[in-house]
Amino acid sequence: MWTYLLMLRSCFPSFLTDTACKNRPLDLVFIIDSSRSVRPEEFEKVKIFLSKMIDTLDVGERTTRVAVMNYASTVKVEFPLRTYFDKASMKEAVSHIGPLSTGTMTGLAIQTAMDEVFTEEMGTRPATFNIPKVVIVVTDGRPQDQVQDVAASARTAGIEIYAVGVDRADMQSLRIMASEPLDEHVFYVETYGVIEKLTAKFRETFCAANVCALGTHDCEQVCVSNGGSYICDCHEGYTLNPDKRTCSGIILSVDLIPNRNIFRNVNMHFIPNYFLLKMNRFSHMHLAAVDTCAPGRHECDQICVSNNGSYVCECYEGYALNPDKKTCSVMDMCAPGRHDCAQVCLSKDGSYSCDCYEGYTLNPDKKTCSGKT
Residue 235's pLDDT is 85
C-alpha 167 chain-centroid distance: 30
Mean pLDDT of all residues in the chain? 79
Looking at the chain, the whole-number percentage of residues with pLDDT higher than 70 is 77
Per-residue pLDDT band for 293 (boundaries 50, 70, 90) equals: confident
Distance between CA atoms of residues 275 and 289, nearest Å? 8
| pLDDT digits 0-9 by tens, 142-159 | 889 999 999 999 999 999
Tell me: pLDDT of 256 over 60: no
Question: Which one of 93-107, 181-195, 271-285, 299-313 scores highest in mean pLDDT?
Answer: 93-107
Model pTM above 0.75 = no
Residue 331's pLDDT is 77
Expressed in angstroms, the distance from the first to the final Cα of the chain is 56
Residue 175's pLDDT is 92
Do the Cβ atoms of 83 and 94 come closer than 8 Å? no
Per-residue pLDDT band for 373 (boundaries 50, 70, 90) equals: low
Cα 343 to Cα 91, 283, 289, 299, 360: the distances in Å are: 39, 68, 55, 40, 10
Distance between CA atoms of residues 176 and 163, nearest Å? 10
DSSP-assigned states of every residue in 108-122: HHHHHIIIIISSGGG
What does the buried/exposed string (b/e) look like for 248-279 if buried means 16 or more CB atoms within 10 Å of the residue's CB? Answer: eeeeeeeeeeeeeeeeeeeeeeeeeeebeeee
Superfamily of chain region 211-330: Laminin (2.10.25.10)
Distance between CA atoms of residues 349 and 330, nearest Å? 7
Instruction: Give SS3 for 26.
Output: coil
Which whole number is the average pLDDT over 19-38? Answer: 80
Of 255 and 209, the structure prediction assigns the larger pLDDT to 209
Tell me: pLDDT of 77 over 50: yes
Question: Which one of 155-159, 196-200, 258-262, 278-282 scores highest in mean pLDDT?
Answer: 155-159
- Of 59, 53, 22, the C-alpha closest to 207 is 22
Which whole number is the average pLDDT over 85-108? Answer: 93
Tell me: pLDDT of 208 over 70: no
Distance between CA atoms of residues 220 and 222, nearest Å? 7
Do the Cβ atoms of 185 and 6 come closer than 8 Å? yes
- Of 4, 2, 7, 3, the C-alpha closest to 161 is 7
Do the Cβ atoms of 170 and 148 come closer than 8 Å? no
Does the domain made of 3-208 have the CATH classification 3.40.50.410?
A: yes
What is the length of the chain? Answer: 373
What angle is formed at CA 83 by the lines to CA 82 and CA 89, rounded to 5 degrees? 140
Q: How many CB atoms lie within 10 A of CB 230?
A: 21
**Window from 58-67, 275-284, 292-301, 310-319 with minimum mean pLDDT:** 275-284
Cα 360 to Cα 164, 357, 368: the distances in Å are: 49, 6, 10
Residue 70's pLDDT is 96
Per-residue pLDDT band for 347 (boundaries 50, 70, 90) equals: confident
Of 346 and 4, the structure prediction assigns the larger pLDDT to 346
Burial of 228 (0-12, 13-18, 19+ CB in 10 A): middle
Q: Range(s) for CATH 3.40.50.410 in the chain?
A: 3-208
Instruction: Give SS3 for 162.
Output: strand
Cα 15 to Cα 3, 7, 21, 25, 343: the distances in Å are: 28, 21, 10, 21, 53
Alpha-carbon torsion (39, 41, 42, 48), positive or negative: positive
**Window from 14-23, 153-162, 221-230, 341-350 with minimum mean pLDDT:** 14-23
Distance between CA atoms of residues 176 and 273, nearest Å? 51
Distance between CA atoms of residues 327 and 293, nearest Å? 15
Residue 267's pLDDT is 42
DSSP 301: S
What angle is formed at CA 109 by the lines to CA 126 and CA 41, rounded to 5 degrees? 120
Tell me: pLDDT of 338 over 80: no
Q: Range(s) for CATH 2.10.25.10 in the chain?
A: 211-330, 332-373
CATH number among 2.10.25.10, 3.40.50.720, 1.50.40.10, 1.10.3720.10, domain 332-373 = 2.10.25.10
